Chains A and B, each alone.
Chain A
Amino acid sequence: MSLWRHAARGLRALLNRSAADRDIGDEVEHYFDEAAAALETTGLSPEEARRVARLELGTVAVVREQVRAYGWENVVETTAADVRHGLRQLLRRPAYSIVAVLTLGLGIGASATIFSVVNPILFEALPYPDADKLMMVWDVQDGRRSDVTFGTYREVMARSRTFRSMAVVRPFHATLTGVAEPERFDGQYVSADYFRVLGVAPALGRDFHAADDRPGAPFVALISDSVWRRRFGGDRSIVGRQVLLEDTPVTVIGVMPATFENVLSPSAEIWSALQYDATLPTNGREWGHHLHMIGRLREGAGEEQAKRELEGIARTPDTAFSRPSWAALRNGFITTRLQDDLARAVRPALLAILGAVALLLTIACVNVTNLVLARGVERRTELMVRAALGASRLRLMRQLITEAVLLAIMGGLAGIALASLAVDVVIAFSPPELPRIAAIRVDGWVLMFAVALVTMIGFAVGIVPALYGSRADLRIEGRSTTDSRGREVGRRTLVVVQVAFALVLLAGAGLLLRSLQHLLAMPPGFEPRNVLTLQVQTAGRRFRDPNAAHQFFTAVLEAVRHVPGVSIAGATSQLPLTGDVDVWGVVFESSPPAADNDNREASRYAVAPGYFEAMGIPLRRGRLLNAQDDGSAPHVALISESVAKRRLPGVDAIGQRLRIGASPGWFTVVGIVGDVRQASLAIDPTDAVYVTNEQWTQFSDRARWLVVRGQSDPGVLMPAIRRAIESVDKGQPILRVATMDERVNASAAARRFALVLFQAFGVVALALASIGTYSLLSGSVTRRLREIAVRAVLGADRRSLLELVLREGMSLTVVGTLLGLGLAMLASRFLETMLFGVSRLDAVTYISVVALLALTSAIACWMPAWRASRLDPNAVLRAE
């Protein structure tokens, strides 16, 4: 009740200040009248009585202010007054305000942008219930994480107690046929529990049952909300209907919710049951390393517990579960939280970029603090007058901090506007490794982050000038008081910090630039220039006959070879630098693996003749594959140099026989070709084995890459090539078109992503630091005009005046550079995992960066110095 009265009275006072003021004024006046009247009764004259009353009680004005200051409404009022006054101050100096707001906007915008990228990947929980309980489990092959086999999954699922449920998935591609416009979808084969592990249920229809996942069960599928709307018009009767995938009837059993985000394969739009054989035939796909395994921990079980348990399972084989030698789990498992697993490839880059943007933001704040400090010098008179009129130090600090917060708020608004534009740009050139792209946007979290930043910045930028400014005191008037000297030291320190931080950012950018240069200089093992690549997917039932596929691709190659401008064309089942992995165990007849854990895996390439010539992969010994190596000829294979060196040391590889996977017969090695970087430029070449499509009989590759070497830039050939392919068969989707040069560049995308951001931040930081140095020196020259003029009159020549100012500026640069070098060397640790072929203490980088910074600083110092050397001493001294 009393609270209500407080609110009501306060509000009334606030809304009708003049009435409230009149009341207070009248009451105080009356008080003084009465006091004087009382004194008159003791015999004083009216004038004397009033004088004595004032002596005893103070002035009417002071008492009125004291009474007026009571009540919550006054806090509101003084804040409003501070804001109004602050805005007037900012409007009075628009150039200053705009520079400050833009600088802060740049800093906040960059930070908010990076935060919006980093947050969903590193910090925000994945969009599943209890996402922390989701774990990825990997087999370990050759020291690296590898997909698990179905057999391993069966064993772990049966033996593990820490996992409540587990699932395995693998990607597939399928074309929707039997409709006017066939469309190719990315999809996933999943074990029945996949969606229950994630904790997501279909919005429409039902989830997979265990019965759907048995070999020979009727084909069923779940589709994504977008496919449902795009292809089936959002018709609810789709559930239970049959559609044709590759001409095979599949029953749609449900539709996933629109909000479902499938982090393991964001492009997947259709899901079908895995239907692997639980009896685990050793020569079947059940023992191939090609499944992602995901599990949900039981209530109360943690990551460490799961790791320990899985290690235990790996170490203690159980006779109830057979383990072939290649899936013997000798190296245990790699078990990580799903979120960490997703972020694994980009985490170091994201953290480094986050650190970089924090540096940039600091530089921006420091810059604005310096601006505010410089502005404070101009405003000394105003502050001193206010102090003289009775404003307390706290009151002045509040005013100055209010102004800084105002700047921060406007900067924050500019920053949010910048971020909402920049996020799209960042997404556009984000590397393919970046997960959860769909979740990257300026959302509530980002806004909260920005508000937190604005608050912090407001106080950070306001506190130093407020401490100096509020010391304004009538007594310390003069040109070089201790007060302004302290302020000067403060400003210099801030400039040194800017220079140092800018150097850290530039050094990071330099190291990344050199890494990228090294990376792109790595020989990929083929000749990427003028090579166009594209994937052709065969869709439809008739291609289930391997001969039909061979005939189709042979005809396509023949047609493409006749396109004017094409020199050579070949085909292959997998192509380097595409991210595809097709690795098989390779066994040599003569040298069975010495130990079972020897890595005997190699990338398998089923190629059409012309592939090596088109790619420019060099033949080292023997011969290449040709058209005579068809189905009826003796089976032959090429191996890469690394296979020859590692698997057949001291033996002539030509003529050796090998088996790929469970191939029914032996392949005779007829040639050795150069090593190729399959996975990435940064990863050493993988072992490779090549056979012809016709002699690869275990299955038919339904999607094949065409590799076309043009006489010049092959991009212009694409329309003609497309026409050539369609002349053979119009219905086969053409996918993933790119030149090999583009693939080489894409392979460096993650580093380039970090590099571009570091460069941008570095350039801005350099500019801000230079502006900081420049404005400090100009201020200093302005303040020292008289001193400089006196020196000039006393005979100092232009050169020595120039030196005087330059020395002042460059000494700051030197201190900042030394500090920055130390910091940069320390900070380079965080970049280490992203560097390639260059040490984190690379001398060339640091020397270049220091040179760049010195040059820019010299320019920033030169301008004020030049002004000092040119000034007319007489004019200055006369003005005094």
Chain B
Amino acid sequence: METENTDLIQGTLDLLLLKTLSLEPMHGFGIARRVEQVSRGVFKVNPGSLLTALTRLERAGWLDSEWRDTANSRRAKYYTLTRSGRRQLEAETADWARRAAAVARILKAEA
């Protein structure tokens, strides 16, 4: 549980998950690996938080899920972004950009 390097800001996890799933349907570990790779190891998501977050987003109606059989006769749960999830992603992206810009301005002013 190596969250010490970077705690995800509250609410950011949702944005990362939605963004990751906007590319293609994925299962839980796939999402975690993608987030870690793309962020170049800055964000490591622990499975408990990740799967809980996925359940929450699914209940919010932003994700759909389906079970697929895997090669070694196990089941894997794949998540897909829904239409309202896509809208949510757009809204959250815009929101994030606004905040990030604001923080950047403040930091610049400080310097």
Chain A residues engaging chain B, CB cutoff 8 angstroms:
1-2, 5-6, 9, 23-24, 26-35, 38, 56-58, 62-63, 66-67, 69-71
Contact = CB atoms under 8 A, between A and B. Distances in A.
Contact of B29 (A2, A34, A62, A67): A34
B1 A38 contact: no
Interface in B76-93: 76-77
Contact of A30 (B28, B32, B55): B28
Contact of B55 (A34, A56, A67): A67
Contacts of B33: 38
A57 B28 contact: no
Interface of B: 1-2, 27-30, 32-33, 46-49, 51-52, 55-56, 58-61, 70, 72, 74-77
Contacts of B55: 67, 70-71
A2 B61 contact: yes
B27 A58 contact: no
B47 A31 contact: yes
Nearest to B46: A57
24 contacts: A2-B61, A6-B59, A9-B58, A26-B74, A27-B28, A28-B47, A28-B51, A30-B70, A31-B27, A31-B28, A31-B47, A31-B51, A33-B70, A33-B72, A34-B27, A38-B33, A57-B46, A58-B46, A58-B48, A62-B48, A66-B49, A66-B52, A70-B56, A71-B59
Given A30-B27, A58-B1, A5 B75 contact: no
Contacts of A70: 52, 55-56
Contacts of B58: 9
Contacts of A9: 58-59
The 5 lowest CB-CB distance pairs between A and B, nearest first, are A66-B48, A34-B29, A67-B51, A70-B52, A26-B75
B107 to A, nearest CB: 33
A69 B52 CA distance: 9
A109 B26 CA distance: 62
A2 B59 contact: yes
Main secondary structure of the interface of B (DSSP, over half): helix
Contacts of B49: 66
B47 A30 contact: no
Contact of A2 (B27, B30, B60, B76): B60
Contacts of B27: 30-31, 34
Nearest to B72: A33
Nearest to B49: A66
Contact of A27 (B2, B72, B77): B77
B32 to A, nearest CB: 8
Contacts of B60: 2, 5
Contacts of A57: 1, 46-47
Nearest to B51: A67
Contacts of B56: 70
Given A6-B59, A31-B47, A57-B47, A67 B52 contact: yes
A516 B3 CA distance: 77
A38 B37 CA distance: 13
B48 A67 contact: yes
Contacts of B48: 58, 62-63, 66-67
B74 A5 contact: no
Nearest to A6: B59
A67 to B, nearest CB: 5
A26 B51 CA distance: 12
